[in-house]
Each structure stands twice: as structure tokens, then as C-alpha cells.
Structure 1
Amino acid sequence: MILNPMVSIVCTSYNHGDYLADAIDSFLMQKTDFEIEILLYDDASTDHGPQVIKQYASDYPSLIKPIYETQNQYSQGVRVELFNHNRAKGKYIAVCEGDDYWTDPYKLQKQVDYMEAHPACSMTVHAADRVYSDKKKVLSTVRPEKEDIILPIERVIEGGGDLVATNSMVYSKEKVAVLPPFYLNAVVGDYPLAILAALHGTVNYLDENMSAYRVGVPGSWTNRELATSEKRVKHYQDMERMFDEINAYTHYKYTDSLTKAKLGYEFSLLLEEGRFNEAKHGEYRTIYLELSIKKRMIMEFKRCFPRITESIRKIKWKMIH
């Protein structure tokens, strides 16, 4: 039993049985000069995920601490990531979902070395590949900058949920000890976590690619929460409410950045609802002009051929999932 780990690796899983071994193996391959603990939380998976966890927990009883739910907590509105956050004993918490994995055996050492040398740092992040489901084919790279840099809070807010990969995050539990209402009420966890860290310290980006983020995973959050137009509309509206809560929490100190981020989601909502002319004018004009030519062409295609677009979306969704 590890009594005083430097890092708690937190991993939440739901029906990730086909991918969990990659995630856990990437935790176990970490080469560090400090102790770690691995906290695995299974939210009542209906696949073989729990069996995978039980096997690893049996092989590494001093490292791996599992929780197995018998009823799915996420569907009941419970913030499942809190189970691991609250029981973590580490000075730092490293995040990786059950369908993702790390690729650099020195990832944790590099991030902890930086944070130990920079006490003001509340979170470190790094570059990551987006890979296609089980094939591990690299689709793109999450790389917000081309050098090591401290990300200003305005950049974290305006960059949105895709600015950094969730499985690149290592944060200080002391600096992010109290989780405010805007985080607890949010429909996502990684984006508000990065904002919260930026409010209580510095968020440092290390320009090294050290993990892989899977897309197109059956049963993933994206699959469950953004599969239909109605769900996407609700998501955009929920995100707008989150920005309002953050604005109140920060006493309106970052109104400009939060307003810009909110406009981005309002823009996406207009596109989802087919209100293309509105999206091209007024306060949304700047966002429209910042789109690439390719994205503008796709937007015009959706406007002219909405039924074909929806059919293509459904076919693509089925092919991915």
C-alpha cells in the first residue's frame, strides 16, 4: 500500500473494456523517482471493463485502488470524477479516461519536475494525438502552442474545451481543493477544471506530445451526449449557463473573455438550428470570418442542402461508432 504518493492517477471508465489495458499499461510504464497510486473508477459498466480492472488490481494490489459501481451514477446526475478526486492522496492529480492512454514513460516525471520547480503552477498540460478508436491512427494533434509557455487565463477561457487534451492534465490538489458551483454544475469536467486551475495559479503548457486521445469510441461521452441535434442544442445552452456562473464567481473580472467564449457556443447553436444568416452577421461576424475557407464551404453546403447534410452526418456517425 502506497501511503504518501506524490501523484494520484485518476481514471474513470464506462464500457471501456476494449481500451482499458492500454490506459493502465501506460500508467504502469511510468518511470518516476516518486511514488504513485492508480485510482480506477468503473461506473457500472455492462461490458468486460470491470473484469479487466479486477485482473490488474489483483496483479498490482499496492498500486491500484478500484471502485466498482453496481448502478450507473453518471445517468443519475452524479459527478463521477469526484469519487477519485476526493480520495486522491497525492500532492498532484493526473487525469486519464479509460479509453485514452499515455505514450511517454517520463510524462509524469517531466510534469511533476516542472510543478515542483514552479510553486505557482496549478496545472501542467502538453500536446497529444487524436487517434481513431481501436486502430490508433493519428487523425490530428492537440497542440495549442509551438513552445513551452504559461497559458494566460484568457487563453484558457477563449480556447474552449478543445484547447488541451484532458489526458494531458496534471494539477495540484492543494490549489484545486475546493470545487465551486460552476464546476459542479457544469455538463463537462475538463474545461471548467482548466479554468479553475488558471484562477488559482498558472497553467503551463509543455510542448511535448506525451499522450493519445481516442475519438469514435462507442459509449463515449460524445457518443452519449452529442449524438442528436436536440442534445447538441442543450449542450450549447448548458455551456452558456456555465460561462455566466464563472463570470459571477470571478466577480466579472474576465467578462470579455467569457463573452467571447459564450459567443462561440451561441454561434454553434445558430448553425445547429440552421440560422446561417444570423451566424454571418452582427456580433457573430468576427467568428464567421475567422473560419477557414473549408469550414465556410461546409457551412454553406449545410445551408443549401440541410437534408443531405443530416443524412451524411448520420452515415458518418454510424461508420465511426
Structure 2
Amino acid sequence: MDDYRMENVRPTVSICCITYNHAPYIRSALDGFLMQKTDFTYEILIHDDASTDGTADIIREYTARYPDIIKPILREENQYSKGISNISIFNFPRARGEYIAMCEGDDYWTDPHKLQKQVDYLRANPDCSLCFHSSRIISVDGSRAEGMMRPYRESRKVEPEAIVDKSTGYPTASLVFPARIVKTLPDYYLHCPVGDIPMQLMMACAGYAYYMDEPMCVYRVGVASSWTSLMKQGDYENKQKRYYEQMKEMYETFDRSTFGRFHNEAMSAAKRIYFLTQVNTKHYDQVRKKEYRRYYRELSLRTRFFIRFEIMAPGLYRLLQRMVRGSN
């Protein structure tokens, strides 16, 4: 790190990171932040939600080494268990940078020029409210590659309507945007069970997005403390139903707050989430309905193959599933 990154210098970028029980992964995240080669200053804002696995000790270790850069909040009480689902609300207000870069503690950056590339674009294009890129996906232990999270096939502008009604998610660890967008948080963000989607809706209201078709980060799947893993515990069917209801309410609140500017896109996005919950819970009678054909075509060829396989040969499908589980 360069010597000029001192406390009294206002950073250009605030890196916002939330962690919970990420001890096996947090070093990779922090090293990815600290390796950035930039012509500007940045700060690292970390919120640890009362981890019980030593994550906080690792953060303390790095903070002692880089006290002018790393600014932690180390909770003694878990905020998520108190009903606060969007933990980033504790980082956003203290961000001093002109831009915010996102990365959760179980993901990490792989390109030392990532921040410079994205900030250069945002500086040159003040109408752009979000810059993001593709991501590699790896299993929780890094033992195998799981493919790519690649929303588009080439670098391109993404119009606001397409941000609202997108067929695939954007890697959270790829997001860089003007900090002003999250200085005031609307109700549809505060009451949503996830943070990335309503945050991107806020960006759609502020301008267009730019996608860089470069895999400059890694998204790690299968982390036990992740929202996806927690969702699969317990009554998955009812959790999926509740998730759809909450997301539908979020999109309706967004629609009202924007006076119908994105009405068609918001309603389509809510409908897509319903469709995906039906895929997740194997309600294939709903999945194959004509009204969801558009969303069905958005699924990967692999997913569509296994849906058809399970519908046509359910007994054989279950047998093969048991054999695969038994071999793991």
C-alpha cells in the first residue's frame, strides 16, 4: 500500500464488506482489497456481525497492520437475528468515499486493477450509476470451478429498465457505484430480505449501468453462513413462499415510490421471482405454464434438461440423485 493513504485524506472509494463466520475466507477478501493498484485512495469498511469462528480476530490482525485503511465494526450481538437483514446499512452512513465498492467476506477480488478500471469509467461517465463485471464461481473449499456468473456476453451499457427486469443476477463483489445513491435508503430497501436487488433498483433510478465482461472477482458457493444456505434449512417450501411474498411487496413499494416509471419491469421481475421459487420447490406444473415461458427460456440448458428429466422419469431421477449423494 502507498504511504499517502492516510487518515486525513478523504478516500475516493469506500470498500464495504459484511462478514459473518467467514474465518476460512476473510483473508482472501482482505488481500484482494489491499492488492489494488490505484492512483486514488480508498478505505475498507468491515462490519462483522458477531462471528463465533474467529473472523473478528483476523479482522483485528489486519486492522493492526493497516489502521489508516481498515475501519471495522465488530459486533458482540448478531444484528441479523434481530431482524436486520440488510447489514450494509451500518457501513453506508460512514462511507467517506465518492464511490462505494461492494464485496462480502466470503468472496474476493482477483484483478489488482479492478477498482482503477471501474472508477475510471465512472469518472468519465457521470450519468453511469453502476459499474459491474463478471465473476468466476468456485465451490466453498475452492476444490472445483462451478462456472461463471456472466450476465452479458460482451461489455456494454445496460439501460435502467434492464437493470430492474434482468434475467440473471449481478455479482455483488463486482458492484461499484456513486456513494450518493445510498446516502438515503428508501423503505423498499430497508424492508427487503436481501440487499443487492433493491440496491440495484436505486441505481436504476439514478442512471444507466456499465458491464465489463471481465471476471475480476470470485463468488464462492456453499458457504454455511450464506443467505442461500440458511434458506435451505428447515421448512424450505414455506421459506420460498415467504421470500416471494416479501419480494413482491418490495417491487410494489418500489413501483409506488417511482410513480410507475418502471411499472412493467418491476411487475415482470416479481413474476420471475415467483417462477424461480416454483423451480426451486419443484412445482413443475407451474413452471411449465405458458405464462412463464419467457422465464423458462432464461434458465440454463442444464437446468431445463434436469427439469424435463425429472418430469419424464421421476423414479430414475430420484435413484440417480441418491447415487450421487452417496458418492459424496
Separation in structure 2 between the aligned mates of residue 132 and residue 24 of structure 1, nearest angstrom: 19
- Structure 1 stretch 184-193 or stretch 248-257: which is displaced more? 248-257
SS in 2 for 1:135: coil
Kindly provide the CA deviation profile for residues 215-236 of structure 1, in whole angstroms up to 9, marking residues without a partner as x: 0112111111243232222222
Counterpart of 1:147?
154
Whether the 8 Å contact between 1:156 and 1:163 is mirrored in structure 2 is no
Q: Does 1:230 align with 2:238?
A: yes
Letter in 2 for 1:11: C
Give the alignment of 1:52-131 within 5 angstroms. Answer: 52-78=58-84, 79-131=86-138
Which segment is superposed worse, 286-295 or 308-317?
Answer: 308-317
Could you list the per-position Cα deviations for residues 118-140 of structure 1 after superposition, in whole angstroms to 9, with x for gaps in the alignment? 11111110111111112263211
Give the superposition deviation at 1:247: 1.4
The answer for the alignment partner of 1:241 in structure 2 is 249
Contact 2:15 2:103 in 1 (8 A): yes
- Which of 44, 55, 60 is matched with 1:49 structurally? 55
Task: Indicate whether 1:202 and 2:203 are aligned.
Answer: no
Q: How does 1:273-288 map to 2 (within 5 A)?
A: 274-288=282-296
The one-letter code sitting in structure 1 at the alignment partner of 2:177 is: Y
Q: Does 1:15 align with 2:35?
A: no
Distance 2:317 2:48 in 1: 37
Q: Is the 8 A contact 1:236 1:268 kept in 2?
A: no
Is the 1:274–1:303 Cα contact (8 Å) retained in structure 2? no
Q: Which moved more, 1:123-132 or 1:170-179?
A: 170-179
Distance 1:291 1:42 in 2: 35
Q: 91-100 or 271-280: which moved more?
A: 271-280
Match of 2:145 among 138, 161, 172: 138
Can you list the C-alpha shifts for 1:88-134, whole angstroms capped at 9, x where unaligned? 10000110000000000011111111111111111110111111112
- The more displaced of 106-115 and 216-225 is 216-225
Answer with 146-155 or 112-121: which moved more: 146-155
Asked if 2 retains the 8 angstrom alpha-carbon contact of 1:2 and 1:63, the reply is: no
Deviation at 1:32, TM superposition (A): 0.7
- Is the Cα contact below 8 Å between 1:6 and 1:34 reproduced in 2? yes
Q: Matched residue of 1:174: which SS?
A: helix
Residue 302 (structure 1) shift:
4.3
Q: Find 2:268's aligned residue among 260, 272, 281.
A: 260
* Alpha-carbon shift at residue 18 of structure 1 (Å): 0.6
Q: CA separation in 1, counterparts of 2:188 and 2:323? A: 36
Question: Which residues of structure 2 form unaligned runs of 5+?
Answer: 1-6
User: How far, CA to CA, are the matches of 2:303 and 2:70 in structure 1?
Assistant: 45
Q: In the alignment, is residue 28 of structure 1 matched against residue 29 of structure 2?
A: no
Question: How far apart, CA to CA, are the structure 2 residues paired with 1:313 and 1:39?
Answer: 43
Taking the aligned partners of 2:326 and 2:245, their CA distance within structure 1 comes to: 26
Residue 71 of structure 1 aligns with an amino acid whose one-letter code is: E
Aligned CA RMSD, in angstroms, stands at 2.6
Q: How much does 1:153 deviate?
A: 1.8
Describe the SS at the equivalent of 2:146: strand
Change (3 A) 1:261 1:48: same
For the residue of structure 2 that corresponds to 1:183, the secondary structure is helix
Q: Which shifted more, 135-144 or 204-213?
A: 135-144
Q: TM-score, normalised by structure 1?
A: 0.90
Report percent identity of matched pairs: 38
Corresponding residue of 1:165:
171
Q: Are 1:298 and 2:315 matched, yes or no?
A: no
CA contact (8 A) 2:92 2:183 kept: no
Q: Distance in 1 between matches of 2:284 and 2:9?
A: 57
Structure 1 residue ranges (4+ consecutive) displaced by more than 6 angstroms after TM superposition: 304-320
